[in-house]
Amino acid sequence: MTIFRIALAASAVFTLASCSSMSSMDPNQLLQSGQLATQALSLSDSDVRTISDKSCAQLDSENKVAPASSQYTQRLNKILKQLGDNINGVPVNYKVYITKDVNAWAMANGCVRVYSGLMDLMNDDEVRGVVGHEMGHVALGHTKKAMQVAYATSAARSVASSAGGVVGNLSASQLGDLSEKFVNAQFSQSQESAADDYSFDMQKKKGYNPAGLVTAFQKLASIDGGKSSMLDSHPSSPARAKHIQDRIASGK
Ligand SMILES: [Zn+2]
């Protein structure tokens, strides 16, 4: 997940209005930027849920979704039965995308997608650790913020000024752009650490071995020279693995 890039784009948008050198900029551009920031922050939980529903459906239509009979789907269902079927009351909807890419993500509406490339690379404990981490981003409100920013920085924003309102009739291309921005975004360092801890706590609470989180990070660090999109994040994978190892060692 790549919420970091979106966060950078957002801070550029948000700081523009207070930039002392803005007199050299086109006023229309500035107005537009101010509106974008306002729109992003004004999206309600319900707006974000609706946009996430549409975005999730769009991504499902663009990707090869594993059928229910697929070994991937059956394995994921088995692993994730252990994590429960909701995140803070939001029902979870799991699917596998058949692709070599190593990735997994979740949206505020409970849409959780795991790529077959990640399932090929990881054992059940590791997949459960990674999905617990993605569920943490939902439970802690990170995915809501990420979707707000993806919305404000994508072509979908033009809809807000039309009669359709904030979540009006988004076209397939607008949804595609928004969805790509969401999936390619990165979370901040503190968000990643918080989601790691959320997954660790979840595994322990449900009686599963949290060591899968450690080896998951180690595997992610070893692939593609550490250049996986799941790895662009800070802190580094070795640092994240060590943090979880320390928690296992301390027993809390
Ligand atoms: Zn994350």
C-alpha 234 – ligand 1 centre gap (Å): 10
Q: Which of 62, 126, 134, 180 is catalytic?
A: 134
Q: What is the pLDDT of residues 141-158, one digit of tens each?
A: 999 988 888 888 776 666
> What strand order describes the sheet that includes 104-106?
93-97, 111-115, 104-106
In this prediction, what percent of the chain has a pLDDT beyond 70?
73
Q: Write out the residue range of the structural domain in which residue 87 sits.
A: 43-250
Radius of gyration of the chain (CA): 19
DSSP state of 235: S
Task: Please give the pLDDT value at position 156.
Answer: 65
Residue 69 maps to a domain = yes
Cross-strand partners of 190: none
C-alpha 161 – ligand 1 centre gap (Å): 32
Residue 134 designated active-site: yes
Residue 9 maps to a domain = no
C-alpha 41 – ligand 1 centre gap (Å): 22
- Distance, CA of 214 to CA of 218 (rounded, Å): 6
pTM over 0.85? The answer is no
Residue 7 maps to a domain = no
Residue 19 maps to a domain = no
- The total number of structural domains in the chain stands at 1
Residue 34 maps to a domain = no
Q: What is the pLDDT of residues 45-89, one digit of tens each?
A: 888 999 999 999 999 999 999 999 999 999 999 998 888 889 989
Residue 68 maps to a domain = yes
C-alpha 1 – ligand 1 centre gap (Å): 6
Strand spans (E) along the chain:
86-87, 90-91, 93-97, 104-106, 111-115
C-alpha 98 – ligand 1 centre gap (Å): 21
**Do the beta carbons of residue 235 and residue 246 sit within 8 Å?**
no
Buried b / exposed e over 169-191, threshold 16 CB at 10 Å, is ebeeebbbbbbbbbbbbbbeeeb
